[in-house]
Amino acid sequence: MSIRQELLNAIEQLNDDQLSTLLDLALSLKSGKKSVHSTVESQAYQDWVSPENDIYDEVFADKLTTR
């Protein structure tokens, strides 16, 4: 299977929020920005690392209750 076909298959499975993030990345790549710096400053990245998406407490919930 070609890379293009694999990407199309993956895109079909994404929800609207994920598609928005992917669009931001695709537009960034299209414009020639390959810097990690611009990616880190993107709204999609900021949303991804926000406290609302922090799974640390959920993953380590049993460790937190034993302290």
Give the Cα separation of 57 and 2 in Å (integer): 39
Give the Cα separation of 43 and 25 in Å (integer): 11
Q: Which residue has the tokens 């598609």?
A: 19
State pLDDT tens for residues 13-64: 989 988 888 888 888 788 876 665 666 677 777 777 777 776 666 666 666 5
The pLDDT value recorded for residue 13 is: 92
Answer whether residue 9 shows pLDDT above 70.
yes
The better pLDDT of the pair 47, 7 is held by 7
* CA 3 to chain CA mean position, Å: 19
Helix, strand, or coil here: 67?
coil
Q: How many domains does the chain have?
A: 1
Which residues span the domain enclosing 12? 3-65
